[in-house]
Amino acid sequence: MRRIRANAIAILTVAWILGTFYYLWQDNKPQTSPSSASQSRSTATRNHGQRHPGRLDIHREDRTIPLIVNTMQGSHFDEKAYLSGKQLKAGEDPYREHAFNQQESDRLSSERAIRDTRHYRCAAVTFDPDLPPTSVVITFHNEARSTLLRTIKSVLLRSPPSLIQEIILVDDFSSDSEDCQLLAQIPKVKCLRNGRREGLIRSRVRGAEAATASILTFLDSHCEVNTEWLQPMLQRVREDHTRVVSPIIDVISLDNFAYLAASADLRGGFDWSLHFKWEQIPIDQKMSRTDPTQPIRTPVIAGGIFVMDKGWFNHLGQYDTQMDIWGGENFELSFRVWMCGGSLEILPCSRVGHVFRKRHPYDFPEGNALTYIKNTKRAAEVWMDEYKQYYYAARPSAQGKSFGSIAERLELRRRLNCNSFRWYLDNVYPELKVPEREPVLSVLRQGSLCLESRGLANLGLGECKGSAGSTPTTPCSRKWIIAEPLIRQQDHCLAISAFSSGSKVTLEPCNQKDSRQKWKPKGSSLQHQVSGLCLDSQPGPVVISQCRPQLASQTWDPQPAT
Ligand code: LR7
Ligand code: MN
């Protein structure tokens, strides 16, 4: 009996040892798919230097750093030479060339660790095992080598290899063409170089057209992606290809390159001058958010970092390629996505760091201000309908500036049968307050004479020419605001004294509800709504009398006051 038990224990022990070895061997065995192969190879290399084929050098930490890949496997890329090829000279201002502290960036490892800034509940979210791969498009113009490399390596190191089809660099005519060429020695990295400066908008379109995956991911050239940044975005887009999604954009300090968590309850907004700003999620939405991993609907995206289905990108008209250099394309894309049947969201479980700068380190051939005006003006003219007047009111310098032809974009909007800007305001961004209409000042002409007030109780006709105010208490005020049903001068309104023919008309403090103050146009006359009588300048005081269209004293011709 005891012998049987001893045998059983021995068999179990051997089985356990064999099982453990099998498990370890399985875990380290070269895989058939290229992506998972590079994943398992790289983990070993990263931790132990060059790996000897066949050696069973598995260590505990290999499995605790799941998605770390050795991107440099089989690569001719010489990182040291690449980085040292472009270093700050002694005494050089480290901010001059890139508007961030290049010295600090150069000092940091291209594979530095960053804090996982997600809400802790994000770690428990699961994704489809067969998410589609993406092409990552990064455009750049004279980016610092160390930041650009860190952007690329963070993507390769913190993404499941099978999800990265390729990284397409679009070198927007940087002064040194080697920046891009050298990086293309890294596996999966491709380099396209513009033959002239195009700006980020046309560059992204070029990158997107070269992409071979069905999903596009855009990144700025000075980012670091964080743990599981990609999966939440691919998941949302695969579930519904009309969603355009972006991560929470964390802050990489432009001074010391510290990686700082951004607030998780912000969304993208703007004011009427089309100036982008981060804003709090409206309070009602905030209250109803019980799950911090849920997407946040956003009226606009910041613009640089987002994932979009390639077919949907093309269907919706890519970008407005007549926009130059920088700016405005994020509004144009955001309005278009929402108004033409898609949606925009920020996914709190996806985090990407970005170096926010205080100035542009590069030149704008047409000037910074003019370029921004041209680009935003195109967005306003194509997408904002009558609401573009508020853009012009907020940005008067945009009036009269040339902005090229928008015929093609208007045709695109028509073809896609998109909603109106009014619809966008009502359904997507009701928090954007529409300014009160600027009151238009008019004169009420009768031949060469105009209706004027000389104090509150004395209305009459005076020469239209000559200076006149718009306040009823100044002598000779001839400027009126005609805002049905009221006809007013500042806060005083035309009012009848009684409802019978011949009753005198005077000025009284405006009161929307007072039926004595309500008027409407009738042909070329002005009719009092309740009595049905017409404003009459008959010799003597201004009164109301039976409407007679031919009567010159009842004919009022409203014209803009000069
Ligand atoms: O002529 C140029 N050609 C380029 O390829 C000018 C710029 N670029 C590149 C540049 O190297 C960088 O990779 O375009 C990218 C964006 O330029 P930045 O980093 O100088 O601009 P930014 O970070 O201020 O830009 C934000 O707004 C832009 C409006 O046109 C773009 O949409 C950027 O992508 C966008 N960046 C982000 O959304 C990251 C988060 C910042 C915020 C808010
Ligand atoms: Mn940027």
CB burial class (10 A; 0-12, 13-18, 19+) of residue 304?
A: buried
Smallest CA-to-CA distance from 232 within 150, 118, 152 is with: 118
Mind listing the pLDDT tens digit for each residue in 203-221? 999 999 999 999 999 999 9
Mind listing the pLDDT tens digit for each residue in 398-440? 999 999 999 999 999 999 999 999 999 999 999 999 987 667 7
The ligand 1 atom at the shortest distance from the C-alpha of residue 325 is 1
- Confidence bin at 13 (pLDDT 50/70/90): low
Q: If you measure from the C-alpha of residue 220 to the centroid of ligand 1, how many angstroms do you get, rounded to a whole number?
A: 6
143 lines ligand 1 (CB under 6 A): yes
Q: If you measure from the C-alpha of residue 151 to the centroid of ligand 1, how many angstroms do you get, rounded to a whole number?
A: 14
Find the mean pLDDT for residues 476-483: 88
Q: Which ligand is in closest contact with the Cα of 302?
A: 1
pTM recorded for the entire structure: 0.73
The ligand 1 atom at the shortest distance from the C-alpha of residue 143 is 11
- Confidence bin at 8 (pLDDT 50/70/90): low
CA distance 530 to 336: 47
The ligand 1 atom at the shortest distance from the C-alpha of residue 138 is 13
329 lines ligand 1 (CB under 6 A): yes
Q: If you measure from the C-alpha of residue 213 to the centroid of ligand 1, how many angstroms do you get, rounded to a whole number?
A: 23
What is the ipTM score, two decimals? 0.98
Q: If you measure from the C-alpha of residue 105 to the centroid of ligand 2, how many angstroms do you get, rounded to a whole number?
A: 15
Smallest CA-to-CA distance from 453 within 542, 559, 375, 518 is with: 542
Mind listing the pLDDT tens digit for each residue in 268-324? 999 999 999 999 999 999 999 999 999 999 999 999 999 999 999 999 999 999 999
Pocket test for ligand 1, best of 151, 326, 366 (most atoms within 8 A of CB): 326
- Confidence bin at 72 (pLDDT 50/70/90): low
The ligand 1 atom at the shortest distance from the C-alpha of residue 170 is 5
The ligand 1 atom at the shortest distance from the C-alpha of residue 198 is 1
Mind listing the pLDDT tens digit for each residue in 90-138? 899 999 999 999 999 999 999 999 999 999 999 999 999 999 999 999 9
Which residue in this structure is represented by tokens 């940087």? 174
pLDDT > 80? residue 337: yes
* Full 3-state SS string of 136-164: EEEEECCCCHHHHHHHHHHHHHCCCHHHE
142 lines ligand 1 (CB under 6 A): no
Would you say how long the chain is, in residues? 562
CA distance 270 to 236: 25
| Residue 532 C-alpha from the chain's centroid | 53
Smallest CA-to-CA distance from 455 within 508, 516, 496, 497 is with: 508
The ligand 1 atom at the shortest distance from the C-alpha of residue 327 is 30
CA distance 210 to 192: 9
pLDDT of residue 17: 52
171 lines ligand 1 (CB under 6 A): no
Q: How far is CA 539 from CA 500, 536, 559, in A?
A: 18, 9, 23
* DSSP output for 273-285: T--EEEEEPPHHH
268 lines ligand 1 (CB under 6 A): no
Kindly compute the dihedral angle of the four CA atoms of residues 388, 394, 397, 403, in this order, to the nearest 10 degrees. -30
Mind listing the pLDDT tens digit for each residue in 354-385? 999 999 999 999 999 999 999 999 999 999 99
Which residue in this structure is represented by tokens 């926010």? 356
Mind listing the pLDDT tens digit for each residue in 509-531? 999 889 999 999 999 999 999 99
Which residue in this structure is represented by tokens 């067969």? 130
Q: If you measure from the C-alpha of residue 319 to the centroid of ligand 2, how many angstroms do you get, rounded to a whole number?
A: 18
- Confidence bin at 15 (pLDDT 50/70/90): low
> What is the residue with the minimal CA distance to atom 33 of ligand 1?
304
> What is the residue with the minimal CA distance to atom 23 of ligand 1?
356
326 lines ligand 1 (CB under 6 A): yes
